[in-house]
Amino acid sequence: MPIRRVVAVLVLLAAFSPATRAQDARLIERGKYLMNGIVACGNCHARRDQEGRVQPELGLSGGMLFDEEPFKAYAANITPDPETGIGKWTDEQIIRAFREGIRPNGTLIGPPMPIAFFRGISDDDAKALVAYLRAQPPVKHVVPKSEYRMQLPPAYGPPIKEKIAAPPRSDLRAYGEYLAGPLGHCMDCHTPWVQGHPDMARVGAGGNPFKGPWGVSVSRNLTPHESGLKAWSDAEIARAIREGRSRNGSPLRPPMAFDWYRNIDDADMKALIAYLRSLKPLPLGGGPAAAKK
Ligand code: HEC
Ligand code: HEC
């Protein structure tokens, strides 16, 4: 056999070797856990019916409208359909889209996708999310074009060139911070916003309004303050996140992704709670700093 053919056969064999397949399967498994749990891209990208109920058979084919002056944004179709989804994008292009907010054609993805938080998703978890997205059936669905009557920033930050690793799981607080920030963007909704950005000096203090068919819900204070989670038990915090019930058992309203968060495992829940308990205690909305508004 000519040497080049031998090399080609060896490369092919390597690509389909049981070890590679096992690694792919592990990546997809990790992606599935993240996607059906803390990361919950589906809370925005899942296809929904008229009543807002998720239609699982139509996957992440998008269409949900965010009508929030000064923009009208429609969640994109992120299934592997080559015409109406992201089937033609490379793995690197998909990762760049959700971590840096830049499409393959160079245009910027607009709000409300929490790109500033997704920037911190580790390289391994980013690959797992892509592996999962690629493993989904393609769904043809043309989504209307978003309209932004505002200036989008030139970029969400400098290009990511460095490697990004998740903190070690043995450091509960640090891993919990990774879960509540880059992976779960809990702190996007639960940190008071000033001029369109969460004020990280008041991280977790809540107080942001969310309008929808449910009326107006206000993000709660997650810091260990009297007006926050100080008196709550770990079990009560876990129940709020997984089942959408407040301390007294009353149901919590959207837009938190309860249907996804119910799949967060016990180890991750423990880290998440350890992080929340480590936050600086602040009153709802963060107190005097709110005067900066
Ligand atoms: C808070 C809602 C929200 C969340 C959460 C969210 N997205 Fe998005 N996403 C959007 C909206 C809205 C758009 C369309 C923005 C626009 O038109 O510029 C979008 C656009 C995109 C695009 C661009 C697709 C295209 O064809 O232009 C990709 C890729 C994407 N999202 C992937 C993801 C992934 C992966 C996740 C989870 C890690 C995620 N999104 C989480 C709301 C969200
Ligand atoms: C898209 C915005 C959003 C995201 C993301 C989000 N939350 Fe919430 N959260 C809310 C809102 C709004 C409420 C209040 C709902 C209500 O009043 O009915 C709430 C309520 C809560 C409560 C109940 C507190 C109480 O006093 O009853 C807890 C605990 C909580 N969130 C934790 C989290 C954690 C942990 C995450 C990430 C895994 C998270 N949230 C992600 C918006 C969000």
Nearest to 157 by CA among 96, 241, 75: 96
Q: What is the pLDDT of residues 190-209, one digit of tens each?
A: 999 998 889 999 999 999 99
d(CA 279, CA 106): 38
pLDDT (mean) for 218-232: 98
* Cis peptide upstream of residue 104 (ω within 30 degrees of 0): no
Flag whether pLDDT at 16 surpasses 80.
Answer: no
Where does the pLDDT of residue 17 fall: very low under 50, low under 70, confident under 90, or very high at 90 and above?
confident
Look at 20 and 269; give whichever has higher pLDDT: 269
- Segment 216-226 shows an average pLDDT of 98
Structure tokens at 195: 């001029």
Quick one: pLDDT at residue 292?
A: 46
Task: Output the CA 220–ligand 2 centroid distance in Å.
Answer: 6
Averaged pLDDT of the chain: 93
Q: Which tens digit of pLDDT belongs to each residue from 69-101?
A: 899 999 999 999 999 999 999 999 999 999 999
Q: Between the CA of residue 71 and those of 76, 98, 137, 148, 154, what are the distances in Å?
A: 15, 19, 30, 4, 17
- Report residues whose beta carbon is within 6 angstroms of any ligand 2 atom: 38, 180, 184-186, 189-190, 210, 217-220, 222, 237, 240-241, 246, 252-253, 255-256, 261, 272
Which mutation among 86, 94, 109 tests ligand 1's pocket best, with the greatest number of atoms within 8 A of CB?
109
SS3 102: strand
Give 79's contacts (C-beta < 8 A, 6+ positions apart). 59, 60, 61, 85, 86, 87, 133, 136, 137, 138, 139, 141
Residue 134's pLDDT band (boundaries 50, 70, 90)?
very high
Q: Is 104 helix (H, G, I), strand (E, B) or coil?
A: coil
pLDDT in tens, 141-187: 999 999 999 999 889 999 999 999 999 999 999 999 999 999 999 99
291 band by pLDDT with thresholds 50, 70 and 90: very low
The answer to whether 191 touches 198, Cβ cutoff 8 Å, is yes
112: preceding bond cis by omega (within 30 degrees): yes
pLDDT category at 287 given cuts 50, 70, 90 is confident
| CATH topology classification for 172-292 | Cytochrome Bc1 Complex; Chain D, domain 2 (1.10.760)
Q: Sort 149 into a burial class: Cβ within 10 Å, 0-12 / 13-18 / 19+.
A: exposed
Q: Give me the helices (H) in 82-155, please.
A: 91-100, 115-118, 123-134
Is a pLDDT exceeding 50 seen at residue 293? no
Percentage of residues in the chain having pLDDT higher than 90? 85
User: What distance in Å separates the CA atoms of residue 139 and residue 71, rounded to the nearest whole number?
Assistant: 26
